[in-house]
Amino acid sequence: MEYTEIMVRYGELSTKGKNRQEFIARLGGNIRKALHDFPEVVVHPNRDRTHVTLNGANSTEVIDRLKKVFGIQNFSPMLKVEKTYEAVQQGAISMLKEQLEPGMTFKINTRRQDKGFEMNTDMMNRELGGFVLEQFPESKVQVKNPDIIFRVEIRTNGIFLTSEIIQGAGGLPVGTAGKGMMMLSGGIDSPVAGYLGMKRGVEMEMVHFFSPPYTSEQALAKAKELSGKLAAYSGNVQFIQVPFTEIQETIKENIPEGYLMTIQRRMMLRLSVALAESRGGMAIFNGESLGQVASQTMESMLAINDVTTMPIIRPVVSMDKTEIIEIAKDIDTYDLSIMPFEDCCTIFAPPAPKTRPDLERTRYYERRIDVEGLMKRSLEGIKISNVRAGETFMNENEDVFAELL
């Protein structure tokens, strides 16, 4: 079925009184970004609804894109027809033949904005209901909770038909909550955490630490490609790659094994905060989940958090691994995340990290390294790229298991 227009309804937006205008404008902009490669589509944001006029664009593809835009509660694809009863009949047949299966129930629901139209709402409901029954004799009219509500909206510029309400992604339009820095590894958890932050309106910049030659080009490409998956929810994201080799080597040489990981994490956090400060970020996001691995105890969080007062938001902190995996599959990051390219932490991970690092000792050991100098050199080497929705970076010809051999 080729529709002509899509009517988008807002969710939580409606409760946000004075921010409403900004939210609606931002959502309109995000919808345009999501549909950037459909130049014929026109987006009209209004107070109560946003109308997306397709002008010939493929409605199935547009619908798929809209399902990923945060801030949309639900939407209805519509068919615009001429202002005649015959056109309504034809439209009803073409739409319902795909949806109204034998035994299903329906009702017609008409709204008439244009009072000049020759049929009033009761007439339309009755006439069209009878006509649909004739065309689909195995269906039934049911007023309470029918399977399909076929809506006829008679407006001045045409008659709009719709019979479906498609669930949107919910949440708040990306960007309305401000900017955050997402610490993105190549693992399962951090992309899910990034997705959840974006869902609450945060514009995420991806910060990825890599350690060549200990980590491969493919590990970096994997993190970038994960960013492309997340960009589907915001149109595009900034990907910031931060060189971490010198820091890891220095830590490895100077710090007792039990504290390697804690101090590495402190350095990562400091660098993320420095990036946030220079780029207008207000919080750091990560993929920590309480108790999942050694670095994710509360003692460990205390010892790592010590380097900053900037909020650290952990969207998956209380989720079980199975729950995180479920979301990762839904957002299509899982298959990529489980590909076997080691990131920098795995490679420098000590065999037995302290699960309960002591804060005073952490600070004491850290004095052995030149924190400022290491940070400065790392920040001088960052590279920032703009990653678009669905962009890929991994080399498909490379044997994914080569690294393991």
Looking at 36-44, 85-93, 202-210, 380-388, which segment touches ligand ATP (CB under 6 A)?
202-210
Give the number of other Cβ atoms within 10 Å of residue 47's Cβ.
Answer: 10
Looking at 57-65, 94-102, 136-144, 201-209, which segment touches ligand ATP (CB under 6 A)?
201-209
In the set 104, 141, 165, 293, which binds ligand ATP (CB under 6 A)? 293
360 Cβ contact partners less than 8 Å away, ≥ 6 residues apart: none
How many separate helices (H) and strands (E) can be counted in the chain?
A: 14, 15
Rounded Cα distance between 265 and 303, Å, is 9
Least Å distance between CB 58 and ligand ATP? Answer: 35
Measured from the CB atom, is 36 or 252 closer to ligand ATP?
A: 252
Pairing of strands 166-170, 178-183: unpaired
**Position 107 contacts ligand ATP (CB under 6 A):** no
Rounded Cα distance between 73 and 69, Å, is 10
Least Å distance between CB 225 and ligand ATP? Answer: 14
**Position 245 contacts ligand ATP (CB under 6 A):** no
Pick one of Mg ion, ligand ATP, none as the site partner of residue 288 (Cβ within 5 to 8 A by kind): ligand ATP
Q: Which residues bind Mg ion (CB under 5 A)?
A: 185, 187
Least Å distance between CB 3 and ligand ATP? Answer: 39
What is the phi/psi pair of residue 261, to 5°?
-70, -45
List the binding residues for ATP. 183-184, 208-209, 265, 287, 296
Measured from the CB atom, is 80 or 222 closer to ligand ATP?
A: 222
Give the number of other Cβ atoms within 10 Å of residue 364's Cβ.
Answer: 11
Please tell me the number of Cα atoms within 13 Å of 175 on its side-chain side: 19
206 close to 223: Cβ distance less than 8 angstroms: yes
Q: Is the dihedral of CA 362, 368, 374, 375 positive or negative?
A: positive
Least Å distance between CB 296 and ligand ATP? Answer: 6
Pairing of strands 383-388, 236-243: antiparallel
Measured from the CB atom, is 50 or 185 closer to Mg ion?
A: 185
Over the window 341 to 360, marking each residue x when it contacts ligand ATP by CB under 6 A and - when it does not, the resulting string is --xxx---------------
Least Å distance between CB 185 and Mg ion? Answer: 4
Residue facing ligand ATP at closest CB distance? 187
Measured from the CB atom, is 116 or 351 closer to Mg ion?
A: 351
**Position 174 contacts ligand ATP (CB under 6 A):** no
What is the phi/psi pair of residue 220, to 5°?
-65, -45
- Residue corresponding to tokens 């600070």: 363
Distance, C-alpha 125 to centroid of its chain: 40
**Position 209 contacts ligand ATP (CB under 6 A):** yes
Pick one of Mg ion, ligand ATP, none as the site partner of residue 209 (Cβ within 5 to 8 A by kind): ligand ATP
Residue 311: asked if its preceding bond is cis (omega within 30°), the reply is no
Amino acid at 199: K
**Position 334 contacts ligand ATP (CB under 6 A):** no
**Position 105 contacts ligand ATP (CB under 6 A):** no
Residue 84 to residues 71, 80, 127, Cα–Cα distance (Å):
35, 11, 13
Pick one of ligand ATP, Mg ion, none as the site partner of residue 5 (Cβ within 5 to 8 A by kind): none
| Site residues, ligand ATP (CB under 6 A) | 183-185, 187-190, 207-209, 286-288, 292-293, 295-296, 343-345
